Structure 1
Amino acid sequence: MRISTIITILLSIALLPSCSFRKQEGISSDPIDAKVSKLISSMTLEEKIGQMTQITITALEKEGEPGILDKNKLREAIHKYKIGSILNTPNPGAPKPKRWNAILNEILAETNQTDKKIPIIYGIDAIHGASYTDGAVLFPQQIGMAATWDAELVEKCTAIAAYETRASSIPWVFSPDLDLPRHPAWSRLWESFGEDTYLSSQMAAAMVKGFQGDDVGASDKVATCLKHYIGYGSTTTGKDRTPSIIPERVLRQHDLPIYEKSINAGAKSIMISSGEINGIPVHASKKMITEILKDELDFKGFVVTDWQDIIYLHTRHKVASTMREAVKKSVMAGVDMSMVPDNYSFFEELFSLVSDGEVPMSRIDDAVSRILRVKFELDLFRTPVTDPKDYPDFGSPSSVAMSYIAASQSITLLKNTDKILPISKESKVLITGPTANSMKYLNGGWSYTWQGEKSDEYANDKLTILEAFKNKIGEQNVTYTPGVSIFEEIDIAKSVSLTNNADYIILCLGEHNYTETPGDINDLMITEPQIKLAQALAKLNKPIILILNEGRPRIISQFENDMNAVLQCYLPGNEGARALIDIVYGDINPSGKLPYNYPRYANSLQKYNRKYTESLGDTEQNDDADYQKSYNPQYEFGYGLSYTTFSYKNLNIDKIFMSKEDSIQITIDVQNSGIRTGKEVVQLYLKDMFASITPEVKTLKRFRKIELQPGEIKTVSFMIGIDDLKFVNENNEWVAESGEFEVMIGPLSKKIVLEKELKEP
């Protein structure tokens, strides 16, 4: 075979698209490239800039008539400004699929009157299911999905979310959230997968696969939008959209790998962080967007801003003295689409900039090519709007069952003194606390509305915690009073008095519904009224089962010692109460594990993979036991109890000495040593004993969730390679240094040695 032929074949393979158009007879280039090039060559500058412009649907509604599109506004958007994208939910809240279809068809009718009939790409925040569609199945929020430690389950649930989003005629979702929160007070922690890079990357890739499948153009799949690139969850204050200080070495080691994994899984778009890193807003950073994301990580999809963030370069960040300068900075940094979202300032400024030669046409063509490519991959030119009649499984019992399974596997048993749980169905319970009787506390934000305040209205056929208890054991066995709200005392004395006829107190505490800036807090401690209620009940010598519904770990150390059992529910979704009650009564054996460290004190917020010098202890011995003294979280990352017990035996490593070309097989026997069937998450951690950059105490490298019958033993096998031993050095390079490493699974550990490379004399 001739060299030129081989090169042609290799190039054609490299350019194969990840969509339904990829199968070709013989040797050819990507057919989508040809379609995109042909279309762009015929487009005017106005049409190109229009494709880069995204407008919120509410800006197109009639004055005083929420939810009704103004035909003149829509016509102006489509015909004058040639917009390529619309986002968000119409007023007043989540429509049913039939209404979504009518809205999308109204928009389509207008685009069909244009010269080129380029379809709109409609985007929505499908955060935990098709969460802006009335009747859709709502799953646990991302932090709860992370607590399942089950990537296969996450993919299955996300595939249902994709199906139901397409049933709503919407092809593009602003999900998953890949933020790596470094401060537990951050108001969007619950939208993330927690504090660990490896766990987050595995879960994020599973969501991308669930949303997009093998063919993003299929009628039951949607395009993903990874967010928020990058460093958004690492604010120094713990408050939303405040600055982050992150060395590039740290960013490359902990944040970028999550994005890289999802980009390799085929993610089609990325949303830029609203924040700034080291004084540079990410929307204005050519290094972050073009040099690292597009060039280094080879991201081929398109980049979209977050809400109004180009405008904020001028008004908030103050790095652009005019709106014109803000547009130029962001577009030249690599932004492809602006979520403007309610005016045409971006369009007008960019048109002027290109006309004046300040932004080259090559940058515009690159941006538009990326956007059009995704539209072709989604098959929007042939099927711009789907029909809800083609989705008979929308809201189906089988999909609801998957939400229940996810909730039951996410809920984490953190304490179970004297095996108080599970309790008998014949016992009488007092239900008290602010989160006991509202769906808002099960779903949180991004549920039907932005802040999730209407969950009781939209999910009125679902069970609150109180209703689930009554449904399970009968109203005659349940007494209820709230005692307090999240922020105010109501009648703590009544809660105390009603314990007289109860065998158990079910204390339901947590947080109100929130997301983004409205969720900012000044104190990580759980609110004062809830502390007072817990402390008053603790004086009664009655067994207390603490139920937490919270988006972040609110500190409970003032009364945790007095609780007999603690269950962390996170934000478990519409089926969360059913799952919780089945765990309380033993019909389900809990298997969730924490995806973050749960802090004990407000000024002791170390992550599990901390540096040794973060916890020096009280002496100068400098051994591991000493370091542990000042590291004392309430509960540690990866922790979670079961109603059965598991024992770990026979940790084996197939080789102790490893070269840089080797991989190592690690096996361990795990036995269910209790009397109930249960699921266990087998977690493998590595410790670099010594390194040129101070090593972490331990780092998660592998995990697997297994189910074991009583007495059953399973051998779990893991493979690790040279990449698992690497870290980013002071030159921002990934390196593996020779020396000792410790492999840790459960209570067992063994050493391996990475050998030095022998250089030629």
Structure 2
Amino acid sequence: MKTRTLLFILFLTAGWESAVGAQQANDVTENHVRDLLAQMTLEEKVGQMTQIDFSVISVENGQDADNPIDQAKLDDALFNHHVGSILNTPTTPNNKAQPIEKWRKMTQLIRDTAAKTRLKIPVIYGIDAIHGATYTQGATLFPQAISMAATFNTELSEKAGEITARAVKASGLDWDFSPVMDIGRQPLWPRFWETYGEDVHLAGAMGSAYIRGHQGDDFAAADKAPTCLKHYVGYSYPLNGKDRTPAWIGERALREYFLPPFQAGVLAGAPTVMINSAEVDGMPGHANYHYLTEILRGEMGFSGFTVSDWEDIIRLYTRDKLAASPREAVKIAVMAGVDMSMVPFDYSFYDLLLDLAKTGEVPLSRIDEAVGRILRVKLQSGLFERREPSIPVAGNFATADAQAVNRQAAEEAIVLAKNANGILPLSKQTRILVTGPTANLLSVMNGGWTITWQGDAEQWYPQDKLTLLKALQQKTTGKVTYVGGQRYDEEINIEQAVAQAREHDVVILALGENTYTETVGNIDSLTLPPVQLQLARAVFAAGKPVILVTFGGRPRIITEIAEQAQAVLLGFLPGMEGGAAMADILFGDVNPSGKLPLSYPRAANDVTPYDHKPMEAFEANQYRPLYPFGHGLSYTQFETGGLTLNKNSIALGDSVEVSVKVKNTGKRAGKEAVLVYLHDLVGSVTRPVKQLKAFKKVELQPGERQTLSFTLRPEDMSFIGVDKRRIVEPGEFEVMVGAETVRFNVLAN
């Protein structure tokens, strides 16, 4: 008993010391912020709120120069305009990945120059490292977010965050514009693939795990870096599906579906937020005081700083016509709650805000508030103590361990959607015809923000990585023939493909999308391009078994093809290891375990999420996707059963413990994600037919069984009520796992 008592006292002491240490560190930071603010001139403060693109300090054609920084321009930025942040690569818009030593030299010059300024306030350098250090040559590039979501593996997401942070810091960079926490419920949207899919809980869980890995317990650590939640909020749900166009989201829906993942990101510790480039209900994101100040800070407790997206403050005047002048646009945005402006090509924001502050139209208190937030994050990031890249390249960049994690992520991201008559896995002696526009390109497996903004510069992709075709050729001992072009849009000889199909045992038909992001990726329909449909129909007419493989950022309509194919594998954007992972699955060296983080539509205009309302599956209405949310096959079989709850009735505010058994009933080892859904049977606001509330992924040997436990907390039972506040109502709930359903009651107090 004395030993237990001593251990308990030690535990409490350690916890108290940790809390005291954290408070002391916070006090030191706050004192430093106050001290700096007291010393800063108005010009220095406004400069901290200004973020410029690298092109502003670059020599001409800087992306190809050994030293792309023009020292005179850099001096002007830091000494005359006191710029607080720089982003991007040399040189916009033709930016591309740079060698890591070049990055280290560039950022070192910026650090050295900032150290010569009056107050020695460091620049925070931001980069879109959205699936690895995307703008550093040779970096480990993971599956994009939509594919990471398909793994249903938060441990992989956390490891991806950890590895990305190391690569960013080894590159000499400071700040990662990731993850996207807006949910993907509009598949036309060209940034759909940057989301973690359509589900609120999945997005929050995967994004929070990424943040934990990226930031650790202290993002001032040498191998950690701050993250940035994007794009707050509602950007992902444009009514017409085009990028940077209006969303029509009522506040109840906003609070029910779109805010919770951001709240999860705030709770995970993300210290920065990037703002929605479009508008919600007629109010541009950069002018929305209610969202940026009342909700984000007043309700969600966010204490970091907000940064505008690309050129979006001036667009309040040039595009949105919300402001009568550029000057008014700056005033509106800053007073709404924008702390830092991604200007990005000049010092117009600096000049206009300086004038607004001098006239009192923007109070000095608001300037101090914004600058204090920026300085706080810089201090928390350890930038004031850092005078050189914080970690060496060796052991931190593109390591064998990182490669192994990336390969596992790609393997778990791929979804086996159909496997008629067990045609897969293939024998390695199978004679295979490979055709289709996505068969022999690395870019189509990576998407935008890969080496370049649009990710379409195939010539700059690493030559040691394998396309699907090259991976098949490397793994098989059978005949592999390829009919296709070297570019996505290169015409394929359909007659040759059909003739070759007749000479082979099976056809692997690789379809999908070219790379894109933002407005460049706008499309008018989810239907596949006609040339792909023509190729597919001709190949089917040859009479040989067809295996459909798709790569792309959104669910293009494949119904006609999928119904005729013997097998369907959905790759989405599995990253640099996608080709090798897909080949491993096709030949059975890897057992597929991916599950859909979205409802794959059957038709272009039939987009219904899995957590639909009852009226969406009532009478003539149906939830009838081609493949439902959570769908994904394996080469083994899993059985869930024995679903039980620790209580049949609980009081308001209590939790419920859920237990379920999962068994591998097949003949080979495999991984299975067990999904726990909840349904509130009756509510004062209509409730979805089910909502994902928990999941776990397990690996089981043949015949192995595990008992999994989950906790459903009061917040899992809550919803946004009539008064637009989150509530839990007494009543009956259903817990659903696999084919089983168990009910419990929440009793009124």
For Structure 1 versus Structure 2, the TM-score category normalised by the shorter chain is: over 0.9
Aligned to 2:171: 168
Q: Deviating runs (4+, > 6 A) in structure 1?
A: 12-17
Q: Measure the CA separation in 2 of the matches of 1:433 and 1:384.
A: 51
Q: Following TM superposition, by how much is the alpha carbon of 1:65 offset from its aligned partner in structure 2, in angstroms?
A: 4.7
Q: Measure the CA separation in 2 of the matches of 1:730 and 1:329.
A: 31
Do the aligned partners of 1:225 and 1:270 also contact (CA within 8 Å) in 2?
A: yes
Aligned to 1:624: none
Do the aligned partners of 1:448 and 1:455 also contact (CA within 8 Å) in 2?
A: no
Q: Following TM superposition, by how much is the alpha carbon of 1:614 offset from its aligned partner in structure 2, in angstroms?
A: 1.7
Q: Following TM superposition, by how much is the alpha carbon of 1:487 offset from its aligned partner in structure 2, in angstroms?
A: 5.1
Residue of structure 2 aligned with 1:501, choices 503, 506, 513: 503
Aligned to 1:56: 53
Aligned to 2:3: none
Q: Measure the CA separation in 1 of the matches of 2:57 and 2:334.
A: 25
Aligned to 2:183: 180
Do the aligned partners of 2:436 and 2:492 also contact (CA within 8 Å) in 1?
A: no
Q: Following TM superposition, by how much is the alpha carbon of 1:485 offset from its aligned partner in structure 2, in angstroms?
A: 6.6
Aligned to 2:243: 240
Q: SS state of the match for residue 647, structure 2?
A: coil
Q: Measure the CA separation in 1 of the matches of 2:492 and 2:257.
A: 44
Q: SS state of the match for residue 202, structure 1?
A: helix
Q: Following TM superposition, by how much is the alpha carbon of 1:159 offset from its aligned partner in structure 2, in angstroms?
A: 0.4
Q: Measure the CA separation in 2 of the matches of 1:598 and 1:308.
A: 34
Do the aligned partners of 2:134 and 2:449 also contact (CA within 8 Å) in 1?
A: yes
Q: Which amino acid aligns with 1:252?
A: R
Residue of structure 2 aligned with 1:655, choices 647, 672, 687: 647
Structure 1 residue 687 corresponds to structure 2 residue 679: yes
Q: Following TM superposition, by how much is the alpha carbon of 1:429 offset from its aligned partner in structure 2, in angstroms?
A: 0.5
Aligned to 1:382: 385
Q: Following TM superposition, by how much is the alpha carbon of 1:384 offset from its aligned partner in structure 2, in angstroms?
A: 4.1
Q: Which amino acid aligns with 1:263?
A: V
Do the aligned partners of 1:438 and 1:456 also contact (CA within 8 Å) in 2?
A: no
Aligned to 1:300: 303
Q: Measure the CA separation in 2 of the matches of 1:531 and 1:485.
A: 18
Do the aligned partners of 1:101 and 1:388 also contact (CA within 8 Å) in 2?
A: no
Q: Which amino acid aligns with 1:680?
A: E
Do the aligned partners of 1:487 and 1:529 also contact (CA within 8 Å) in 2?
A: no
Worse overlay, 493-502 or 159-168: 493-502
Q: Following TM superposition, by how much is the alpha carbon of 1:13 offset from its aligned partner in structure 2, in angstroms?
A: 8.9
Q: In the TM superposition, what are the counterparts of 1:234-633 in structure 2 within 5 Å?
A: 234-386=237-389, 389=392, 391-474=394-477, 477-482=479-484, 489-618=491-620, 630-633=622-625
Q: Measure the CA separation in 2 of the matches of 1:228 and 1:390.
A: 31
Worse overlay, 68-77 or 113-122: 68-77
Unpaired runs of 5+ residues, structure 2, are 1-14
Judged with a 3 Å threshold, the aligned counterparts in structure 2 of structure 1 residues 163 and 484 are, in CA distance, closer, same or farther, namely closer
Q: SS state of the match for residue 490, structure 1?
A: coil
Q: SS state of the match for residue 597, structure 2?
A: coil
* Sequence identity (%): 46
Q: Measure the CA separation in 2 of the matches of 1:132 and 1:325.
A: 35
Aligned to 1:143: 146
Q: Which amino acid aligns with 2:418?
A: K
Q: SS state of the match for residue 411, structure 2?
A: helix
Aligned to 2:8: none
Q: Measure the CA separation in 2 of the matches of 1:523 and 1:150.
A: 31
- The aligned length equals 729
Do the aligned partners of 2:484 and 2:491 also contact (CA within 8 Å) in 1?
A: no
Do the aligned partners of 2:652 and 2:730 also contact (CA within 8 Å) in 1?
A: no
Deviation string 1:575-620 (CA, Å, 9 cap, x unpaired) is: 11111111111111000000000000112100000111123333xx
Q: Measure the CA separation in 2 of the matches of 1:76 and 1:455.
A: 37
Q: Measure the CA separation in 1 of the matches of 2:485 and 2:123.
A: 50
Q: Following TM superposition, by how much is the alpha carbon of 1:428 offset from its aligned partner in structure 2, in angstroms?
A: 1.1
Do the aligned partners of 1:463 and 1:575 also contact (CA within 8 Å) in 2?
A: yes
Worse overlay, 136-145 or 448-457: 448-457
Aligned to 1:79: 79
Q: Measure the CA separation in 2 of the matches of 1:609 and 1:35.
A: 48
Residue of structure 1 aligned with 2:37, choices 33, 36, 40: 40
Q: Measure the CA separation in 2 of the matches of 1:138 and 1:550.
A: 16
Do the aligned partners of 1:179 and 1:232 also contact (CA within 8 Å) in 2?
A: yes
Q: Following TM superposition, by how much is the alpha carbon of 1:734 offset from its aligned partner in structure 2, in angstroms?
A: 0.9
Q: SS state of the match for residue 310, structure 1?
A: coil
Q: Following TM superposition, by how much is the alpha carbon of 1:721 offset from its aligned partner in structure 2, in angstroms?
A: 2.4
Q: Following TM superposition, by how much is the alpha carbon of 1:525 offset from its aligned partner in structure 2, in angstroms?
A: 0.8
Aligned to 1:723: 715
Q: Measure the CA separation in 1 of the matches of 2:387 and 2:241.
A: 41
Deviation string 1:232-291 (CA, Å, 9 cap, x unpaired) is: 001001110000010111111111111111111110100000010000001001111011
Q: Measure the CA separation in 1 of the matches of 2:308 and 2:60.
A: 27
Q: Which amino acid aligns with 1:719?
A: T
RMSD of aligned alpha carbons? 1.8
Q: SS state of the match for residue 559, structure 1?
A: helix
Q: Following TM superposition, by how much is the alpha carbon of 1:703 offset from its aligned partner in structure 2, in angstroms?
A: 0.6
Q: SS state of the match for residue 644, structure 1?
A: coil
Do the aligned partners of 1:410 and 1:592 also contact (CA within 8 Å) in 2?
A: yes
Q: Which amino acid aligns with 1:431?
A: V
Q: Which amino acid aligns with 1:227?
A: K
Q: Measure the CA separation in 2 of the matches of 1:587 and 1:64.
A: 46
Q: Measure the CA separation in 2 of the matches of 1:98 and 1:745.
A: 51
Q: Which amino acid aligns with 1:393?
A: N
Aligned to 1:9: none
Aligned to 1:4: none
Q: Measure the CA separation in 2 of the matches of 1:62 and 1:491.
A: 46
Q: Which amino acid aligns with 1:544?
A: V
Residue of structure 1 aligned with 2:115, choices 91, 99, 112: 112
Judged with a 3 Å threshold, the aligned counterparts in structure 2 of structure 1 residues 598 and 477 are, in CA distance, closer, same or farther, namely same
Do the aligned partners of 1:486 and 1:530 also contact (CA within 8 Å) in 2?
A: no
Judged with a 3 Å threshold, the aligned counterparts in structure 2 of structure 1 residues 119 and 130 are, in CA distance, closer, same or farther, namely same
Judged with a 3 Å threshold, the aligned counterparts in structure 2 of structure 1 residues 648 and 316 are, in CA distance, closer, same or farther, namely same
Q: Which amino acid aligns with 1:201?
A: G
Do the aligned partners of 1:483 and 1:494 also contact (CA within 8 Å) in 2?
A: no
Q: Measure the CA separation in 2 of the matches of 1:136 and 1:724.
A: 38
Q: Following TM superposition, by how much is the alpha carbon of 1:456 offset from its aligned partner in structure 2, in angstroms?
A: 4.0
Q: Following TM superposition, by how much is the alpha carbon of 1:490 offset from its aligned partner in structure 2, in angstroms?
A: 2.8
Do the aligned partners of 2:441 and 2:487 also contact (CA within 8 Å) in 1?
A: no
Q: Following TM superposition, by how much is the alpha carbon of 1:73 offset from its aligned partner in structure 2, in angstroms?
A: 1.5
Aligned to 1:706: 698
Q: Measure the CA separation in 1 of the matches of 2:449 and 2:258.
A: 24
Structure 1 residue 98 corresponds to structure 2 residue 95: no
Q: Measure the CA separation in 1 of the matches of 2:26 and 2:734.
A: 48
Worse overlay, 301-310 or 29-38: 29-38
Q: Measure the CA separation in 2 of the matches of 1:22 and 1:90.
A: 39
Q: Measure the CA separation in 2 of the matches of 1:109 and 1:393.
A: 23
Q: Measure the CA separation in 2 of the matches of 1:398 and 1:13.
A: 36
Q: Measure the CA separation in 2 of the matches of 1:534 and 1:385.
A: 55
Do the aligned partners of 2:502 and 2:542 also contact (CA within 8 Å) in 1?
A: no
Deviation string 1:22-76 (CA, Å, 9 cap, x unpaired) is: 374xxx8621000111011000000000000000002221234545222221111
Worse overlay, 643-652 or 633-642: 643-652
Q: SS state of the match for residue 309, structure 1?
A: coil
Unpaired runs of 5+ residues, structure 1, are 1-11, 619-626
Q: Measure the CA separation in 2 of the matches of 1:633 and 1:167.
A: 44
Q: Which amino acid aligns with 1:196?
A: D
Q: Following TM superposition, by how much is the alpha carbon of 1:393 offset from its aligned partner in structure 2, in angstroms?
A: 3.3
Do the aligned partners of 1:486 and 1:527 also contact (CA within 8 Å) in 2?
A: no
Q: SS state of the match for residue 78, structure 2?
A: helix
Q: Which amino acid aligns with 1:642?
A: S
Q: Measure the CA separation in 2 of the matches of 1:349 and 1:15.
A: 45
Structure 1 residue 668 corresponds to structure 2 residue 668: no
Q: SS state of the match for residue 381, structure 1?
A: helix
Do the aligned partners of 1:486 and 1:529 also contact (CA within 8 Å) in 2?
A: no
